[in-house]
């Protein structure tokens, strides 16, 4: 573990996996409840590592620790969705998702010790692609108390994702019976009742151009969670699956899609975990015209400027924001 517990990222290892923890540096809000950290997993597609995802989606305006945790068994070069047609690759995917959920209690205990955070209280969960599947699986299992979750393009069903890759590539799956059984076990639609039963607000973010996890998969999972009484919302952006350029293993400046997603997740968590600091509302009212993104569709409300200021130097990226800590090197 390394880092300053006040205003610098903390690097460490928990339950055998590397993590990067970004401190609560938001100056216009404070944590409003017992949730003091959010655990975030990357995917097998870019961004593939904790450090890369922490740079792509830092959620700087959320006044709690955001802890980006590598998936177990991640290969050095990553494992893209195109490799999902191979038995070895789908077995590695299933092992990573299931082990991430299984290791969460131990990882969380270590992280809390490292960051000097009380060992009780709920956490938030977030994840991208395979990491989103891990977060949903952890939520379904209920191994740790969770207060809120947000998933970006979670792989809802590996078998359907494989079919999409087959159609796009013209190649056929080469799965063994064992690999197919593992994939079927991670069809998260079959766990909708368990997820909904946790009574946790869930945000699902999809991409209208996503050819790995089509937007219809996201809305179908939302509807299934609602059918079982769950608190689920969804939003769709005009983006593909990846949230970073290849290879997606090292920290790089965020691409447009990542900035949009970062704004959506920041607002989602702030609305439920934060209280504006004195004077923050007046500061927001004095800021420039609302630059809310016209790129989002779905049943969530359009993103509003709730913190920081819309950045005039962000290349006219919808939803781009400025705020304390955006320059963190992770």
Q: Are 127 and 154 in contact (CB under 8 A)?
A: yes
Q: What is the model's pTM?
A: 0.84
CB 243 within 8 A of CB 52: no
Residues 6+ apart with CB under 8 A from 187: 156, 157, 158, 159
CA Rg value for the chain: 19
Q: Which segment of 57-61, 77-81, 92-96, 261-265 scores lowest on mean pLDDT?
A: 77-81
Instruction: Give the other-Cβ count within 10 Å of 288's Cβ.
Output: 10
| Alpha helices for the chain (secondary structure H) | 50-56, 87-115, 130-141, 158-169, 177-185, 192-196, 215-227, 256-273, 280-286
Beta-carbon contacts of 175 under 8 Å, excluding residues fewer than 6 positions away, are 85, 87, 90, 162, 183
pLDDT at residue number 167 = 77
The answer to whether 90 and 175 are in contact (CB under 8 A) is yes
Residue 194 dihedral angles phi and psi, to the nearest 5°: -65, -40
**How far is the C-alpha of 18 from the C-alpha of 33, rounded, in Å?**
27
Mean pLDDT over 240-244 rounds to 95
Is the pLDDT at 280 greater than 90? The verdict is no
Mean pLDDT of 42-48: 93
Mean pLDDT computed over every residue of the chain: 84
Confidence category of residue 174, pLDDT binned at 50, 70, 90 = confident
| Dist CA 209 CA 193 (whole Å) | 28
Q: How confident is the model at residue 303 (pLDDT cuts 50, 70, 90)?
A: very low
Find all residues with CB under 8 Å of 151, minimum gap 6, and list them.
126, 127, 128, 132, 135, 136, 202, 203, 204, 205
245 Cβ contact partners less than 8 Å away, ≥ 6 residues apart: 46, 252, 255
Q: What's the pLDDT score for residue 168?
A: 75
Confidence at 39, pLDDT banded by 50, 70, 90:
very high
pLDDT of residue 75: 52
**CA 86 to CA 186: how far, in whole Å?**
17
Q: Residue 38 is encoded by which pair of tokens?
A: 């959010």
- Looking at residue 123, what is its pLDDT? 98
Query: What does the domain layout of the chain look like in residue ranges?
Result: 10-271
Tell me the pLDDT band of 296, cut-offs 50, 70 and 90.
Answer: low
Class of 10-271 in CATH = alpha beta
By the 8 A CB rule, do 130 and 41 touch? yes
Q: Which residue has the tokens 């080469």?
A: 174
Q: Does residue 87 or residue 109 have the better pLDDT?
A: 109
Could you tell me where the DSSP H helices lie in 18-157? 50-56, 87-115, 130-141
Distances (CA, A) of 222 to 188, 202, 232: 11, 9, 6
Residue 162 pLDDT class (50, 70, 90 cuts): confident
């Amino acid at each position: 573990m390394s880092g300053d517990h006040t205003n610098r990222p903390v690097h460490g290892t928990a339950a055998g996996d590397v993590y990067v923890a970004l401190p609560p540096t938001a100056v216009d809000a404070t944590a409003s409840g017992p949730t003091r950290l959010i655990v975030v997993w990357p995917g097998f597609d870019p961004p593939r590592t904790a450090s890369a995802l922490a740079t792509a989606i830092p959620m700087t305006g959320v006044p709690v620790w955001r802890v980006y945790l590598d998936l177990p068994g991640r290969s050095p070069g990553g494992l893209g969705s195109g490799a999902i047609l191979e038995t070895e690759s789908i077995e590695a995917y299933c092992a990573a998702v299931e082990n991430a959920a299984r290791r969460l209690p131990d990882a969380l205990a270590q992280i809390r010790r490292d960051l000097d955070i009380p060992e009780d209280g709920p956490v938030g969960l977030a994840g991208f692609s395979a990491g989103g599947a891990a977060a949903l699986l952890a939520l379904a299992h209920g191994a740790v108390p969770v207060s809120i979750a947000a998933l970006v393009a979670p792989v809802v069903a590996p078998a359907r994702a494989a079919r999409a890759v087959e159609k796009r590539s013209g190649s056929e799956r080469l799965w063994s019976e064992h690999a197919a059984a593992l994939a079927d076990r991670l069809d998260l639609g079959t766990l909708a009742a368990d997820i909904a039963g946790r009574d946790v607000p869930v945000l699902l973010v999809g991409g209208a151009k996503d050819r790995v996890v089509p937007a219809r998969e996201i809305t179908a999972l939302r509807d299934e969670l609602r059918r079982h009484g769950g608190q689920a919302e969804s939003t769709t952006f005009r983006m593909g699956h990846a949230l970073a350029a290849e290879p997606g293993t090292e920290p790089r400046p965020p691409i447009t899609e990542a900035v949009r997603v970062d704004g959506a997740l920041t607002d989602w968590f702030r609305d439920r975990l934060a209280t504006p600091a004195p004077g923050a509302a007046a500061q927001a009212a004095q800021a420039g015209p609302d630059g809310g993104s016209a790129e989002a569709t779905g049943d969530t409300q359009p993103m509003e400027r709730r913190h920081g200021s819309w950045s005039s130097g962000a290349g006219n990226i919808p939803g781009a924001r400025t705020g304390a800590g955006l320059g963190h090197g992770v």
